[in-house]
Structure 1
Amino acid sequence: MMNIHILSLFPEMFTGVFGTSILKKAQEKEEVRLNIINFRDFSGNKHNKVDDYPYGGGAGMVLKPDPIFDAVESITDKSKKEPRIILLCPQGEQFSQKKAEELAQEEELIFICGHYEGYDERIREHLVTDEISLGDFVMTGGEIAAMAIVDSVVRLLPNVLGNSESHELDSFSTGLLEHPHYTRPVEYRGFKVPDVLLSGNHAVIDNWRREQSLKRTLERRPELLVSANLSVEDKKMIRKLKGE
């Protein structure tokens, strides 16, 4: 079972997301244990204060190091292995499917959700193992980022999804965007399912799906093709799609 701990000043934000859908099922199957910790409980002062003014002046408040260090150590003191300790911040590595797959191999993860102007730099330098950002934008805190990352990691755990192959063909898992999907009815408002999908010829269908995946990636995210694992046939398809 994977253990995921989340340090947050607003633990109530996680109730709905972690209590429904795949994350709920993953906990019921005992594939993951989700533990939300309010690090205000480690403030060590009667006012439960976890932030302070920055040395040198400046706008905003900065999260103090001691509550976060103490909260993390309350977990690591009980851990059998060294957990990955992840700081959610705009300066971090941009999150990707590759990173989700990497984190899914761990037994224990700790996420630190910040608020206010930022973190005391000693948290970054002497406590965390990873810094992750969802993208080049700023959010009020790290909670929503933590939910997104946990969801993407947990769905990769064994037995979480009903079909063990479900995540293997997802967009980005193969290095490409996923091919189009269709279901019943065959025709809806004059729009028909492609004939190839009704042919029953699985080899032809697989070839069509691969071509569509390459086409969609070329049109929407061509930069992904640079690092994708492409076969000789894939490269031929790309040249064909480019009209070369």
Structure 2
Amino acid sequence: MRIDVVTLFPDFMRQCAAVGVVGRAQQRELLQVEAWNPRDYATDNYRTVDGRTCGGGPGMVMLIEPLRAALKVMREAAPEPVHVIYLSPQGARLTQGRVEALAKLPRIALLCGRYEGVDERLLAHEVDEELSIGDYVLSGGELGAAVIIDAVGRLQDGALNDAQSAEQDSFSNGLLDCPHYARPVHDALGDVPEVLLSGDHAAIRRWRLKQSLGRTWLRRPDLLAQRALDAESRALLDEFRREYAREEQAQRPSRQNDAVNDDRNH
């Protein structure tokens, strides 16, 4: 897969893509990341890429011509058709499902805005999709582009040493991931759950699914509302809820005692 990035900070994007799983994917020639600076295609001596917004107001807007020229050269750099994405807080929310779909494309391009954004006319004619990594505003699209490169790059076949790692990620099946533990088994912070040491693969699978369902119920109930649970999942979620209620009940006297002691100390 090839990912092109149109950005005022090409070195930053290259550095982001050179480390970790994505860097390893490039070394294995599973992924190619290229960066293009629109300043290189500006026509004046100052390499100007921005101008004042029409209608007045604060901030500058990235100009059509340098971006259009950079996109043209980028498109011609490789024969594969390219899906152009603009990183914007106004875009659709990036999800694991969208990441998985993008990972199957032969080539995508990420357009990174700065200042007040990009001239709307260029977006209308050159961009296929707008994506947002969250409901907040950053100084530019580079961090969002880095997120997409990492999320898409790690899904390339052979990028991860164990392909099952991606299959078990949060959101891959619509649920949050279960808790994970490593040795030592016993520590001052607690013990590894016994079921994980039992060697009973069916019991381990059941425990992990229950924890995944329970964690989703606690932290992201909206995800559960979007899916229909089978009979096993419903039973495991009910079991988790009962266990959670018992733990909360058991901890309540301790919390009340702590509150009384705090009042006395004050």
SS at 1:167 equivalent? helix
For 1:114, the aligned partner's letter is G
Give CA-to-partner distance per residue, 1:90-112, whole Å, 9 cap, x none.
Answer: 10011111111010011111001
Residues 3-42 of structure 1: matches in 2 within 5 Å? 3-42=2-41
Give CA-to-partner distance per residue, 1:143-165, whole Å, 9 cap, x none.
Answer: 11110111000000100000111
Checking the alignment, whether the CA contact within 8 Å between 2:14 and 2:35 is kept in structure 1 is no
Distance apart, 1:229 and its partner CA: 5.4
Q: Give ranges in structure 1 of 5+ residues lacking alignment.
A: none
Checking the alignment, whether the CA contact within 8 Å between 2:62 and 2:115 is kept in structure 1 is yes
* Matches of 1:137 and 1:115, distance apart in 2: 15
Distance apart, 1:134 and its partner CA: 0.9
Q: CA RMSD in A?
A: 1.5
* Aligned twin of 1:233: 232
Residues 139-150 of structure 1: matches in 2 within 5 Å? 139-150=138-149
For 1:92, the aligned partner's letter is G
Residues 1-244 of structure 1: matches in 2 within 5 Å? 2-189=1-188, 191-228=190-227, 230-243=229-242
* Matches of 1:11 and 1:68, distance apart in 2: 14
* Matches of 1:169 and 1:136, distance apart in 2: 26
Checking the alignment, whether the CA contact within 8 Å between 1:174 and 1:228 is kept in structure 2 is no
For 2:215, the aligned partner's letter is R
SS at 2:59 equivalent? coil
Larger Rg: 2
TM-score (norm 2): 0.88
Distance apart, 1:227 and its partner CA: 2.1
* Matches of 1:111 and 1:190, distance apart in 2: 43
Distance apart, 1:47 and its partner CA: 1.2
Checking the alignment, whether the CA contact within 8 Å between 1:175 and 1:229 is kept in structure 2 is no
When structure 1 is superposed on structure 2, of 222-231 and 177-186 the one drifting more is: 222-231
For 1:36, the aligned partner's letter is A
SS at 1:166 equivalent? helix
* Matches of 1:223 and 1:119, distance apart in 2: 33
* Matches of 1:42 and 1:123, distance apart in 2: 15
* Aligned twin of 2:256: none
Give CA-to-partner distance per residue, 1:82-129, whole Å, 9 cap, x none.
Answer: 211000111001111111101001111100111011110012211100
Distance apart, 1:77 and its partner CA: 2.7
* Matches of 1:25 and 1:180, distance apart in 2: 26
Distance apart, 1:78 and its partner CA: 4.1
Distance apart, 1:242 and its partner CA: 3.7
When structure 1 is superposed on structure 2, of 168-177 and 227-236 the one drifting more is: 227-236
Checking the alignment, whether the CA contact within 8 Å between 2:14 and 2:34 is kept in structure 1 is no
Distance apart, 1:15 and its partner CA: 3.9
How many residues are matched?
Answer: 243
When structure 1 is superposed on structure 2, of 163-172 and 232-241 the one drifting more is: 232-241
Checking the alignment, whether the CA contact within 8 Å between 1:88 and 1:113 is kept in structure 2 is yes
TM-score (norm 1): 0.95
Q: Give ranges in structure 2 of 5+ residues lacking alignment.
A: 246-266
SS at 2:181 equivalent? coil
* Matches of 2:55 and 2:146, distance apart in 1: 34
